[in-house]
Amino acid sequence: MAQVIQEYLQRWDQFVDKHKDPRVDDWLLMDSVWPGTFLVLVYLFIVWVGPKLMEKRQPFQLREVLMAYNFAMVLLSLYMVIDFGRGGWLNGYTYGCQLVDYSNSPQAMTMLNVCWWFYFSKFIEMWDTFFFILRKKKAQISFLHVFHHAIMPFTWWIGVRFVGGGFGTFHAFLNSFIHFLMYIYYGLAAIGPHMHKYLWWKKYMTKMQLIQFTLVMLHCSQLLFIECPYPKVFVWIIASYGFIFFVLFLHFYIAAYLKKGKPTMLYGNGDSKVEHNGDGRHGSKTDSNSNGYHKLD
């Protein structure tokens, strides 16, 4: 068994050496997949042991921390939106068969750099889970939540290591914009109850999520009908994510806004209990120590 594993690892190293993008050789966490893998394993260990350690402790009150965290993520998300645009999506990219520019031109390096930041942000976002643990919101640490945070660093390490730019970054451009809006929502909600009157647009956030995933699937599907040498494996990974999250958010939207009288729990990196009246308006029960709803993407 050990020999089989060793041979597999050798083949992986050979594959990486043959196909890797040398421009990121010296970048943080890019030389090998193993440092990022170690961080994911640490994350999973904390998810496993954290609730046990907090079991007999009082939950932490983290309003100021959550405010700072969420508004820092607003700035990071805005930066990524701008540079995904400058790197190509608002600066010459075609929305068809857009190949990766592996040159060292300023525009190509802008795109590669923001791809790395998008990858690195997936480790920062693991703090969403840690806040759940510290505030003893164990029920919000679902399998889907943990799976999402654990798998994204792997898929995006591969993306930056091999295809840092081009067709496959369209979903990251959209996702960064959605995160920009969502973290504004979370930050405002964390401030306190007096901000709730400004959060009427929560329902439209879910609609924007659904539009985002629809656009991602449509964008990916075109490669079924046109000739394009962009690696298809990355297209299938992105399209699969888009489909899975579209179904999940559609289920949430139906439960939260279309089923009359059905109370809905909405999760952010705080906690929120909002009863809906079936028409999208908030009912009378609201926990103000919230950062909004469950972020799946």
Query: Catalytic site residues?
Result: 148
Alpha helix stretches (DSSP H) within 60-201: 63-84, 106-124, 127-134, 143-162, 170-191
Name the burial class of residue 132, with classes exposed (0-12), middle (13-18) and buried (19+) by CB atoms within 10 angstroms of its CB: buried
283's enclosing H/E stretch is: strand 282-286
Q: How many residues does the chain have?
A: 297
Angle, helices 127-134 vs 143-162, to 10°: value is: 160
Instruction: Give the type of residue at 200.
Output: W
Beta strands 282-286 and 264-265: pairing type? Answer: unpaired
Task: Please list, in sequence order, all residues whose beta carbon lies within 8 angstroms of the beta carbon of residue 157, skipping any fewer than 6 positions away.
Answer: 29, 30, 33, 36, 119
